[in-house]
């Protein structure tokens, strides 16, 4: 049943990629004609239609929701003499994520108290503040609004290569195509996410919608930037297609580590960040990176660097099959430690110790001793004081006896 729902959803995405659509419906007693949608992204959405029925309509409603949301909004409508109706939704107060698929339908109570409805209609809530260009092949569509055709082609090439790399580890469906939206600057991306009720970030993937969003400006370094960011965001989407809803149970270090590992042009500064953190004993524990990364930008950067290095170590040690087994164990709902134990037979803390020793060259015993030194000093002082007191009592007793 879950696979059927997933197929239907992806089928809808394929249909909506060519614009507003409605599914074929049997006669229901309520006819909707002149159905039209217009909107300004982040401001308002206007629903227009003409509703008619053989039996007079007593009251009409519109219902709508994001297809990935279980909550449906139902709003009463005012009908004109000819059955025309208009409803304006305030998208500035009730936010809808960018590029979300919206399902809506009309219902009515007739004068004979019969309830009737239309079948669903669908449209995608694109960020229409920009005049998007696009290039596509069978597996991916890239959209951009600033830059020439060479920029779009570089983005499409990065996407193709990224999908090929991901597919070598995770067998994923490449149909329907994935959409990648490339904003020309960070401010435009942040405003889109903010107007859609999303937290701002350097890049964003909405895996359930098959949408990746990122910011790359046309420049001399555009190919490098695209080769980093496009495969990273595509990886999140492909992992979701591979794991389904179990994707949401992945530890953050694993999800981001895989995405960072799949970048075609790895960040060259990660190595120096790891080396510095290793030397000054400020590495983050992966047990603390299971749910989220730190809010502080510097520590978040270190978390990305560690996760990429750690996941690459796991793949090199246990192969692609071991990495796939790890994602599936976590997708089954196992906690951060048990997932590693089931997948590769080693708990997470021991895997981390091996990574530190093998990749960073740390002496684990020495590091552990250094970390425990303050506690050993306290323990020593705690023991020395009573022992010293006992020795004093013994000496005093001997003097008295003498």
DSSP 174-241: --SPEEEEEESSHHHHHHHHHHTTPPP-SEEEEGGGTEEEEE--SSTTHHHHHHHHHHHHHHHHHHHH
pLDDT of residue 7: 41
Structure tokens at 376: 């050993």
Cα 16 off chain centre by: 22
Q: Which residues contact 139 (CB under 8 A, 6 or more apart)?
A: 159, 160, 163, 174, 175, 177, 178
Angle, CA 277 vertex, CA 273 and CA 282 arms, to 5°: 140
Q: What is the DSSP string of 63-74?
A: EEEETT-S--EE
Asked whether residue 37 is domain-assigned, the answer is yes
Q: Do 146 and 131 touch, CB atoms closer than 8 A?
A: no
Query: Same domain for 217 and 262?
Result: no
At 45, which CATH number?
A: 2.60.40.10
pLDDT of residue 382: 60
Q: Which DSSP category does 218 fall into? A: S
Domain total of the chain:
4
Query: Same domain for 186 and 262?
Result: no
Query: What is the C-alpha to C-alpha distance for residues 267 and 164, in angstroms, rounded to an integer?
Result: 20
Asked whether residue 213 is domain-assigned, the answer is yes
β-bridge pairing 178-183 and 211-215: parallel
Asked whether residue 369 is domain-assigned, the answer is no
pLDDT of residue 2: 43
pLDDT of residue 116: 96
Structure tokens at 67: 């297809």
Strand order from edge to edge, sheet including 133-136: 133-136, 140-144, 178-183, 211-215, 203-206
Asked whether residue 174 is domain-assigned, the answer is yes
Q: Record the pTM.
A: 0.82
At 228, which CATH number?
A: 3.40.30.160
Query: Same domain for 213 and 277?
Result: no
Query: Same domain for 137 and 149?
Result: yes
Distances (CA, A) of 172 to 153, 175, 242, 324, 377: 23, 9, 6, 12, 54
Query: Same domain for 297 and 336?
Result: yes
Which neighbouring-strand residues pair with 75? Answer: 62
Domain boundary among 92, 125, 158: 125
Query: Same domain for 332 and 218?
Result: no
Q: What is the DSSP string of 119-182?
A: PPEEEEE--TTS--EEEE-SSEEEEESSS-HHHHHHHHHHHHHHHHHHHTTS-----SPEEEEE
Asked whether residue 185 is domain-assigned, the answer is yes
Q: Burial of 79 by CB count in 10 Å (0-12 exposed, 13-18 middle, 19+ buried)?
A: middle
Q: Do 314 and 325 touch, CB atoms closer than 8 A?
A: no
Query: Same domain for 269 and 331?
Result: yes
Query: Same domain for 276 and 228?
Result: no
Q: For the chain, how are helix, strand and coil distributed in percent, rounded to 5?
A: 50, 20, 30
Domain boundary among 221, 247, 273: 247
Q: Give the structural domain span for 311.
A: 250-362
Query: Same domain for 120 and 12?
Result: yes
Query: Same domain for 119 and 41?
Result: yes
In tens digits, the chain (402 residues) has pLDDT values of 444 444 444 445 554 544 566 654 444 689 999 999 999 999 999 999 999 999 999 999 999 999 988 899 999 999 999 999 999 999 999 999 999 999 999 999 999 999 999 989 999 999 999 999 999 998 999 999 999 999 999 999 999 999 999 999 998 888 889 999 999 999 999 999 998 877 656 678 788 889 999 999 999 999 999 999 999 999 999 999 999 999 999 999 999 999 999 999 989 999 999 999 999 999 999 999 999 999 899 999 999 999 999 999 999 999 999 999 999 999 999 999 999 999 999 999 999 999 999 999 987 554 444 444 444 455 555 655 555 555 555 545 555 555
Torsion angle, alpha carbons of 361, 364, 370, 374, to 10:
150
Domain boundary among 247, 278, 305: 247
pLDDT of residue 115: 95
Query: Same domain for 202 and 220?
Result: yes
What confidence tens digit (pLDDT) does each residue in 298-354 have? Answer: 999 999 999 999 999 999 999 999 999 999 999 999 999 999 999 999 999 999 999
Distances (CA, A) of 230 to 16, 157, 166: 23, 10, 12
Quick one: which of 122, 119, 123 has its CA closest to 24?
119
pLDDT of residue 70: 86
């Amino acid at each position: 049943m879950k696979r059927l729902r997933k197929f239907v959803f992806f089928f809808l995405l394929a249909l909506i990629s060519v614009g507003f659509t409605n599914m074929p419906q049997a006669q229901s007693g309520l006819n909707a004609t002149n159905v039209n949608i217009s909107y300004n992204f982040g401001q308002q959405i206007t629903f227009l239609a003409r509703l008619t029925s053989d039996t007079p309509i007593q009251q009409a409603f519109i219902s709508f929701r994001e297809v990935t949301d279980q909550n449906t909004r139902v709003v009463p409508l005012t009908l004109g003499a000819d059955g025309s109706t208009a409803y304006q939704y305030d998208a500035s107060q009730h936010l809808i994520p960018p590029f979300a698929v919206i399902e809506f339908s009309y219902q009515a109570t007739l004068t004979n108290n019969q309830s009737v409805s239309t079948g669903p209609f669908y449209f995608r809530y694109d960020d229409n503040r920009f005049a998007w260009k696009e290039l596509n092949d069978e597996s991916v569509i890239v959209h951009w609004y600033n830059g020439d055709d060479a920029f779009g082609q570089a983005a499409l090439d990065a996407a193709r290569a990224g999908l090929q790399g991901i597919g070598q580890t995770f067998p994923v469906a490449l149909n329907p195509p994935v959409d990648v939206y490339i904003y020309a600057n960070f401010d435009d991306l942040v405003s889109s996410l903010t107007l859609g009720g999303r937290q701002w970030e350097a890049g964003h993937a909405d895996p359930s919608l098959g949408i990746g969003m990122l910011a790359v400006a046309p420049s001399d370094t555009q190919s490098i930037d695209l080769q980093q960011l496009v495969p990273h965001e595509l990886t999140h989407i492909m992992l979701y297609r591979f794991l389904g809803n179990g994707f949401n149970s992945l530890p953050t270090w694993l999800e981001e580590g895989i995405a960072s590992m799949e970048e075609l042009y790895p960040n060259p500064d990660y190595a120096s960040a790891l080396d510095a953190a290793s030397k000054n004993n400020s590495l983050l524990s992966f047990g603390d990176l299971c749910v989220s990364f730190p809010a502080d930008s510097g520590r978040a950067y270190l978390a990305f660097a560690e996760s990429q290095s750690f996941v690459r170590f796991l793949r090199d040690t246990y192969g692609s099959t071991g990495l796939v087994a790890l994602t599936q164990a976590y997708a089954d709902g196992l906690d951060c430690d048990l997932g590693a134990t089931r997948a590769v037979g080693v708990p997470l803390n021991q895997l981390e110790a091996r990574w530190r020793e093998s990749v960073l060259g740390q002496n684990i015993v020495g590091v552990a001793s250094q970390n425990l030194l303050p506690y050993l000093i306290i323990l020593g002082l705690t023991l020395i004081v009573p022992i010293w007191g006992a020795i004093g009592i013994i000496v005093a007793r001997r003097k008295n006896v003498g």
